[in-house]
Chain A
Amino acid sequence: FQDQTEQFFRSGHTNNWAVLVCTSRFWFNYRHVANTLSVYRSVKRLGIPDSHIVLMLADDMACNPRNPKPATVFSHKNMELNVYGDDVEVDYRSYEVTVENFLRVLTGRIPPSTPRSKRLLSDDRSNILIYMTGHGGNGFLKFQDSEEITNVELADAFEQMWQKRRYNELLFIIDTCQGASMYERFYSPNIMALASSQVGEDSLSHQPDLGIGVHLMDRYTFYVLEFLEEIHPASQTNMNDLFQVCPKSLCVSTPGHRTDLFQRDPQNVLITDFFGSVRKVEITAETLSLDRDVPGLESKFPEEELATEPLKYAEQLPVAQIIHQKPKPKDWHPPGGFILGLWALIIMVFFKTYGIKHMKHVF
């Protein structure tokens, strides 16, 4: 019994997050969007909710005017699997997928007006899966055809995350040409990285679909997906199986991985530690019954006092008093000089018109 509970609490994380990034735009990069959406689908299927997934797609393939099958993104030829569906939540779309936004999401330095769905609200007990795909080179990854992120920047971003305690363990998967160069520079602890090809090699795409006219998936992700389709939330498959996923015979490129920064043995790391979601459960041995009369809680006010409080507005002041209220004293009075001048003028006018002879009647 104790072994089982130990196994239950083997990994130190309490929640899972996923950041899935597709960095390429234009119709012929359909496969990158399909890659990301396939990983999104698997991750959702294995239990991570949309609120914990930050999905960044640099272009819209499903509603692209060149898509002969609108509102769909297929990952298998012959239209076997539509990964777009109707509950896809894209958090960063189209031109919002920039290096700056990506780094801001990772490090948490986002403006206060950003909505929750666009934030990576991880803590130091979070396991984060970061999946990136697109066009890359030796030490860089191209974003949107106009900028790139370097492996140094990425490593520094992860270091910031570590220092801000934004992750417990991090799994970084990248599917681009020369992808292994991207994880060469990592130096923060608890990071495991996988890449689709070594430095100097290109990652290749898998199958073109003649009906749609573009390549639908990349090889590495295709086989990773095949592997993930057999994983269910309770499976015990570990990371070593993931490392074997795409041998050179199938992938043409040599997938690489890096585990030296990771503290646990990959043998003991479950796939569902990163791809699935953990619900924290506490097992107790005693029972609690909820009673109506719980002793110890007394009413603070004795019963008699409550009824005599004045409750009505009308009872606050007797009506007779209100009617005969004196007008409140005024603070401003006209200056004495003015009053004098005015009445002197009026008297002057009066006497000028009617003659001085009235003076003697006044006095």
Chain B
Amino acid sequence: VVEGLALLDLGVSPYSGAIFHETPLIIYLFHFLIEYAELVFMITDVLTAVALYLAIQDFNKVVFKKQKLLIELDKYAPDVAELIQTPMEMHYIPLKVALFYLLNPYTVMSCVAKSTCAINNSVIAFFILATIKGSAFLSAVFLALATYQSLYPLTLFAPALLYLLQRQFIPIKLKSKSFWFYTMQYASLYLCSLVVLICLSFFLLNSWDFIPAVYGFILSVPDLTPNIGLFWYFFAEMFEHFSLFFVCVFQINVFFYTIPLAIKLKEHPVFFLFVQLAIISIFKSYPTVGDVALYMAFLPVWSHLYRFLRNVFILSCVLIFCSFLFPVLWHLWIYAGSANSNFYYAITLTFNIGQILLISDYFYAFLRREYYLTHGLHLTRQDGTEAMLVLK
């Protein structure tokens, strides 16, 4: 950002260098705030935490209401009393979420590094807040802002839509007219705000060259500096004529899980949001630990799934060790010269495997709990022996 502003002062487009790939609104924001950058990032983090706190508070109310409704409708099996969430245990969850975000070492690291990921996180947090509060207009605006910043929150359109539909009590059937009507409304709000934002950015610099520099950069991954993601190593050793194909494959991988998850998790859009956030932060082209911090902040919301999680020990070990090994192997590779990129990429792979394991574990635990809620805790097969639930 500093380089972009310096280039602007020299009278050149800030995207003419190869470093600056942020949107013009960031230019505008930091034009005035660059001297107070530390304060800005601290305030952003605090805002994110506050937004998450308010969002989860509202979400808890929604969950509780829904639970009450389902109990009264006798949808639950008789012996699942221990699985039902009580207000007592849910009282501290919003505070835990805010604390998880603020005290996460990843958040602290990205704040100290003054990474613009903090701004991304705060926009997404406000989007979540707006969605859970039920305001379609604000949520569309914030989602457009998040998409405008980095392309991947586009996939969060589906969970937000599902949540808003649920809130309006519109049933999700493909033939239903009101479903399509609401979807069109929301989609048009979202697209209009996106278009307005892009045109506004055009007026800032009077040129369209921010589009290839921001979105072309995210999609075509030209810069292969090592990060904690999966793209750089692959594309560093790939032949030129395959790179287009693999770029497409990798990018589709991010957007690919939306529709299957939407079909599976249409009753639980906020969990869908959480899984989608995690998938974005694993498979995006330039992930940072700030993205990891954002979805990890949601883990207390599903602390009631603890009894169904199977890999807690391995996961926590993998994540903690990888976080420590990242700087060690980086130092060995770049400064000491006694390792090579394979070492660092191995840790990247392990870290991402750990994250994927985390999400799949939570996913399985969630589905299992839902199944137990409707079918009772003690599952029996047809012949009466004890049955085990398996994720296929």
Contact = CB atoms under 8 A, between A and B. Distances in A.
B135 interface: yes
B204 A327 contact: no
Interface residues of A, number: 16
A353 B28 contact: no
A349 B200 contact: no
B53 to A, nearest CB: 19
B383 interface: no
A338 B203 contact: yes
Nearest to B203: A338
A118 B51 CA distance: 79
B9 interface: yes
B200 A334 contact: no
Interface string B205-238: 0100000000000000000000000000000000
Contact of B137 (A333, A337, A352): A352
B138 A341 contact: no
A342 interface: yes
Contacts of B264: none
Contact of B204 (A334, A349, A353): A334
A352 B138 CA distance: 9
A115 interface: no
A345 B8 contact: no
B123 to A, nearest CB: 14
A330 B203 contact: no
B204 A338 contact: yes
Interface in A152-200: none
Contacts of B141: 349
A317 to B, nearest CB: 21
| Most chain B CB inside 10 Å of its own CB: which residue of A333, A334, A352 | A334
A335 B200 CA distance: 11
A363 interface: no
A347 to B, nearest CB: 13
Contacts of A327: 35
B11 interface: yes
Main secondary structure of the interface of A (DSSP, over half): helix
Contacts of A334: 27-28, 31, 204
B196 interface: yes
Interface in A137-160: none
| Most chain B CB inside 10 Å of its own CB: which residue of A338, A339, A341, A345 | A338
B129 to A, nearest CB: 12
A331 interface: yes
B139 to A, nearest CB: 10
A1 interface: no
Contacts of B35: 327
Interface in A336-363: 337-339, 341-342, 345, 349, 352-353
A330 B28 CA distance: 13
B9 A332 contact: yes
Contacts of A337: 203
Interface in A306-339: 327, 330-335, 337-339
Contact of B200 (A342, A352, A353): A342
Interface string B1-37: 0000100111100000000000001011001000100
B31 A338 contact: no
A339 B204 CA distance: 8
B339 to A, nearest CB: 38
15 contacts: A330-B31, A331-B9, A332-B9, A334-B27, A334-B28, A335-B203, A335-B204, A337-B203, A338-B200, A338-B203, A342-B28, A342-B200, A345-B196, A349-B141, A353-B138
Interface of B: 5, 8-11, 25, 27-28, 31, 35, 135, 137-138, 141, 196, 200, 203-204, 206
List the 7 closest A-B pairs by CB distance, nearest first.
A332-B8, A331-B9, A338-B204, A338-B203, A353-B138, A332-B9, A334-B28
